[in-house]
Amino acid sequence: MNSLDAFFDPQSVAVIGVSRNPNKVGSIIFRYLTESGLRLYPINPNLDEFMGYKAYPNVKDVPDNIDLAIIAVPAKAVPDVLKDCVEKGIRGVVIISAGFGETGEEGKKLEEKLKETIKGTKTRVIGPNCLGIYVPKKKLDAIFTLRERSPRPPAGDFVYISQSGAAGVAFMDYASHYGVGVSAFVSIGNKMDVSEVELLEYFGEHKDTKAIALYLESIKNGRKFLEVAKEVSKKKPIVVLKGGRTVRGATAAALHTGSLAGSDAVIDGAFKQAGIIRAYDEEEIIDFARVLAYQKPMLGPNVAVVTSGGGYGVIATDYIESPYGDKGVGLKMADLTKETKEKLREVLVPYASVNNPIDLTADVTDEQYDKALEIVNKDPNVDGILCLALFQTPFVTEKLIDIVEKWSKNGEKPMVVVSIGGTYTQEMIKEMEKRRIAVYPSIWRGVKALRVLYERGLYLKRMGVL
Amino acid sequence: MNSLDAFFDPQSVAVIGVSRNPNKVGSIIFRYLTESGLRLYPINPNLDEFMGYKAYPNVKDVPDNIDLAIIAVPAKAVPDVLKDCVEKGIRGVVIISAGFGETGEEGKKLEEKLKETIKGTKTRVIGPNCLGIYVPKKKLDAIFTLRERSPRPPAGDFVYISQSGAAGVAFMDYASHYGVGVSAFVSIGNKMDVSEVELLEYFGEHKDTKAIALYLESIKNGRKFLEVAKEVSKKKPIVVLKGGRTVRGATAAALHTGSLAGSDAVIDGAFKQAGIIRAYDEEEIIDFARVLAYQKPMLGPNVAVVTSGGGYGVIATDYIESPYGDKGVGLKMADLTKETKEKLREVLVPYASVNNPIDLTADVTDEQYDKALEIVNKDPNVDGILCLALFQTPFVTEKLIDIVEKWSKNGEKPMVVVSIGGTYTQEMIKEMEKRRIAVYPSIWRGVKALRVLYERGLYLKRMGVL
């Protein structure tokens, strides 16, 4: 058993710090865990029973193996409770409690004590000062924020690992709203023991995880992290958002997390070497993780744009053809073959443009989208497709989603979809997200996603994987 | 009477081409116009009455002055109908009909004929090949797309002028979903007569319009446009999205609109000279127009960031401090005065950071946001404020919107708000939009909005207006 399986695939869980008050952290987590069907043990010396489960005063009293313990007691009580977990032989412990390294000298000492407690044992710790962990496929919801305020995302294809609690909550909230799924969510807090390195290794092998997103404010052991990332990224894409790339940003990060951020130029080069895709904000990290989880890499820079709005085709073209970073992504508009153009001419209306961008015009039908995507998928000059699926055009129906899904999943070329609009379009976007189509609500975000697929392809080719 | 008042402030309107079929373009427009309370005249030689209004065979038969005519008849019938409008002395004519310059040689000839028809007369034409015009405050909805598919935005503070029909529809759809209001929406189509230049002049004087957004694919008379823009932009901010800035993009634009786009470097320099804020995509044009309509210019580059999420403060700092264009906007994090820091220290929790970014922490209350915004508004080292209002934090309530509104409207410094999250946050964002708060759902979009306020300030200072 991999030591981290205790966290993400446990059979039995103890929650230390359940309380008669249902709004206390331990009680909230226990309540959500009851949905998991796992063997559960509420721990509280003053209770005989909790939510219909037999309660125990101490984990050591539980007459069963415990894989995972969630600790939600005041900071000062944590060292003793953790010692109990070690003695019980529990492999996974999530310490939700705050009041450690993040609060100053006294807290740091307390955190040192925790490190001493697990040293040389089989017990591993996530936290302290974290939100918890969440594995939707297993219905393992050990997150302490109330679902009413902080809804959980559905099951999906990438893991999201967050050093920042606030950003973690906002991520889940955002993801659940847009129906973006995760294989797991891990809040690593002060990362006194389990760090981004081991999580990277673990999710590199995790079968439900196709891409790994890390929101880090500091990197503990840079060299090791990059070594591991280099290996993992040969198999799975890794996206990292690391704050503190400017002097002022790094200072702010140091004040916020108490840990020093590294020089940005060094980090940038090292990330590239290790095949890490870099995200610069809270939106990019999700946008990039999604496209990497849903789509194959681009093997070259040549993009075919299929659109029903001519003007939007122009904007996309400008972004694709402009140098990377300078209002553009440094890709190329594919030169479609003569054959492609002829075939397109046959199936499209006479006033459609069969040059790239391919403008299907506002009179486009679902079938014309279908045909156009079929034809560009066969063009040897095309490395990737940007499909502008606009639902305002009069003859397009919801069937366009089936078409886009078909080519997104079975087409030869990687594809990114952009749908721009209001309430109806938002519904269409959610449906596409459900089907794991890499869809974006703006041209810029869609084009950047293609750039990421291209960078992924470059790395895999450089590594000899592709 | 300004010649364009006939379009945007008419007293009487004729719709030429109403039909027994309620789904025909003329019928749709007439139906929507009945809400306006204006004097309406349906024109159709085969009808005596339409929707309870007396119908006339020809505009010339109407026993009343007509300010505005909407033409929705087949292209070939347009020249005669337009001639009738001229003879009737109608000042404003919107030609919805397509099938002119955009379709090839024959269409071009037909369009020339229209130009001849109005030459030397008082009749002005918007279109042909356009969606129509919309002035929400006057309930003047002369847009032919069905509201079910293409909902209309509410009344608001900026005008949106679009050369692209598809982009226009998508804009209205997007704006209505997010509650973004417009003073008017104008689809200019082939702009055979009234062009961006005159609309710029007109809306420069239009009292309900605080900012002007133009989505252009070509600029007809560049020199004149820039001359006018230079004058107008001293009074009101202008945002222009012009596709075709790369060679491939310009080619695509030429194929799409039939009009040649100018060299981009030249356009970029000229725009700056004329005080035009440049947008690069469909999202930026709205984001920029909103902030310019809702907020005052920034008088210097120094930003104070007020946040409850430390990590998000770091991301914002990185974007603010990075050079413009290179994953940043080239502004500065303000060095808060000693006094500011001391005052902040008094009102915030001990573990809050009073350095910039000001991290109120997840324990923040509405009152602390209020106090912090009050204090930074008084700091002479601060030119603008980025307020990260995160609704996931447990002690923050909907009252935060009132607070943010107060400082957004009455504070000394311009302010941009960022709120990141899911369903609940989206509701809060819509409420803020309703109150004309410059709010954005991502850090990057918020920071770019500040950059725009800074550019606006630079221009006004250069022009001696500020």
Beta pairing partners, A310: none
Instruction: For residue A13, give how far its alpha carbon lies from the nearest alpha carbon of chain B (Å).
Output: 27
pLDDT of residue A106 exceeding 90: yes
Residues B290 and B391 in one domain: no
pLDDT tens digits for range B329-353? 999 999 999 999 999 999 999 989 9
Residues A154 and A267 in one domain: yes
The alpha carbon dihedral of B16, B19, B22, B25 has a sign of negative
By C-alpha distance, the chain B residue nearest A444 is B281
Cα B207 to Cα B64, B67, B202, B203: the distances in Å are 28, 20, 10, 8
Instruction: For residue A321, give how far its alpha carbon lies from the nearest alpha carbon of chain B (Å).
Output: 7
User: In the prediction, which pLDDT does B436 show?
Assistant: 97
pLDDT tens digits for range A315-343? 999 999 999 988 999 999 999 999 999 99
pLDDT tens digits for range B25-57? 999 999 999 999 999 999 999 999 999 999 999
Residues B117 and B260 in one domain: no
CB contacts of B359 in chain A (<8 Å) are 252, 255-256
Average pLDDT over residues B414-437: 97
CB contacts of B421 in chain A (<8 Å) are 170, 173-174, 177
**Domain membership flag for residue A134:** no
Range of the domain at B197: 145-294
Tracing tokens 């069905």 back to the chain, one arrives at B146
**Domain membership flag for residue B138:** no
Domains held by chain B: number = 3
Q: Which residue has the higher pLDDT, B260 or B235?
A: B235
Structure tokens at A356: 């790239």
Residues B318 and B355 in one domain: yes
pLDDT tens digits for range B60-78? 999 999 999 999 999 999 9
Structure tokens at A75: 């900071």
pLDDT of residue A259 exceeding 90: no
User: In the prediction, which pLDDT does A102 show?
Assistant: 86
Residues A351 and A300 in one domain: yes
User: In the prediction, which pLDDT does B179 show?
Assistant: 96
Q: What is the mean pLDDT of chain B?
A: 95
The model's confidence at residue A261, banded by pLDDT at 50, 70 and 90, is: low
User: In the prediction, which pLDDT does B264 show?
Assistant: 78
Residues B271 and B308 in one domain: no
* Inter-axis angle of helices B310-321 and A165-178, nearest 10: 90
**Domain membership flag for residue A125:** yes
CB contacts of B319 in chain A (<8 Å) are 280-281
Q: Tell me, what CATH number does B431's domain have?
A: 3.40.50.261
User: In the prediction, which pLDDT does B221 show?
Assistant: 85
Which residue type sits at A387? C
Structure tokens at B212: 């002007």
The whole-angstrom separation of Cα A169 and Cα A62 is 32
CB contacts of B444 in chain A (<8 Å) are 280-281, 283
Tracing tokens 């906002």 back to the chain, one arrives at A170
**Domain membership flag for residue B30:** yes
pLDDT of residue B365 exceeding 80: yes
Contact B142, B32 (CB under 8 A): yes
User: In the prediction, which pLDDT does A191 show?
Assistant: 95
Of A176, A217, A320, the CB nearest to B311: A217
**Domain membership flag for residue A135:** no
pTM beyond 0.90: yes
Among B105, B129, B153, residue at a domain's last position:
B129
pLDDT of residue A2 exceeding 70: no
The whole-angstrom separation of Cα B304 and Cα B302 is 7
**Domain membership flag for residue B140:** no
Average pLDDT over residues A425-449: 97
% of chain A beyond a pLDDT of 70: 98
The whole-angstrom separation of Cα B168 and Cα B270 is 25
Which of A191-195, A221-225, A250-254, B184-188 shows the lowest per-residue confidence on average (mean pLDDT)?
Answer: A250-254
Of B173, B255, B322, the CB nearest to A353: B255
Residues A447 and A301 in one domain: yes
Residues A106 and A239 in one domain: no
User: In the prediction, which pLDDT does A422 show?
Assistant: 94
* H and E: helices and strands count for chain B: 16, 20
Average pLDDT over residues A157-174: 94
The whole-angstrom separation of Cα A302 and Cα A314 is 16
pLDDT of residue B262 exceeding 70: no
Among B253, B276, B294, residue at a domain's last position:
B294
The model's confidence at residue A107, banded by pLDDT at 50, 70 and 90, is: very high
**Closest by alpha carbon to A137, among A183, A173, A79, A106?**
A183
By C-alpha distance, the chain B residue nearest A392 is B149
Residues A170 and A284 in one domain: yes
Tracing tokens 């397109």 back to the chain, one arrives at A344
**Domain membership flag for residue B137:** no
Average pLDDT over residues A118-137: 97
Tracing tokens 């810029």 back to the chain, one arrives at A444
User: In the prediction, which pLDDT does A253 show?
Assistant: 78
Q: Tell me, what CATH number does A21's domain have?
A: 3.40.50.720
pLDDT of residue B213 exceeding 70: yes
CA A213 to chain centre: 4
Count of other CB atoms within 10 angstroms of residue A18: 28
Q: Which residue has the higher pLDDT, A362 or A154?
A: A154
Beta-carbon contacts of residue B293 (< 8 Å; ≥ 6 apart): B156, B157, B158, B210, B211, B237, B436
* H and E: helices and strands count for chain A: 16, 20
Average pLDDT over residues A41-57: 97
Average pLDDT over residues A145-157: 93
By C-alpha distance, the chain B residue nearest A216 is B311
Of A282, A309, A357, the CB nearest to B312: A282
Phi, psi angle pair for A203, to nearest 5°: -75, -15
User: In the prediction, which pLDDT does B137 show?
Assistant: 98
By C-alpha distance, the chain B residue nearest A326 is B325
By C-alpha distance, the chain B residue nearest A390 is B170
Q: What is the mean pLDDT of chain A?
A: 95
Among B247, B268, B294, residue at a domain's last position:
B294
Residues A95 and A116 in one domain: yes
pLDDT of residue B273 exceeding 60: yes
User: In the prediction, which pLDDT does A346 show?
Assistant: 97
CA B420 to chain centre: 23
The model's confidence at residue A424, banded by pLDDT at 50, 70 and 90, is: very high
CB contacts of A281 in chain B (<8 Å) are 315, 319, 442-444
**Are A248 and B321 an interchain contact pair (Cβ–Cβ within 8 Å)?**
yes
Contact A183, A157 (CB under 8 A): yes
**Domain membership flag for residue B139:** no
Contact B213, B204 (CB under 8 A): no
pLDDT of residue B180 exceeding 90: yes
Q: Which of A171, A392, A442 to mutate to test the interface with B (most CBs of B within 10 A)?
A: A392
pLDDT tens digits for range A15-38? 999 999 999 999 999 999 999 999
Instruction: For residue B355, give how far its alpha carbon lies from the nearest alpha carbon of chain A (Å).
Output: 8
Instruction: For residue A121, give how far its alpha carbon lies from the nearest alpha carbon of chain B (Å).
Output: 33
Instruction: For residue B154, give how far its alpha carbon lies from the nearest alpha carbon of chain A (Å).
Output: 13
Structure tokens at B177: 């979903």
ipTM of the complex: 0.94
The model's confidence at residue B249, banded by pLDDT at 50, 70 and 90, is: confident
Average pLDDT over residues A130-135: 97
Residues A321 and A451 in one domain: yes
Residues B337 and B441 in one domain: yes
User: In the prediction, which pLDDT does B257 show?
Assistant: 60
pLDDT of residue B258 exceeding 80: no
The model's confidence at residue B252, banded by pLDDT at 50, 70 and 90, is: confident
Average pLDDT over residues A179-190: 97
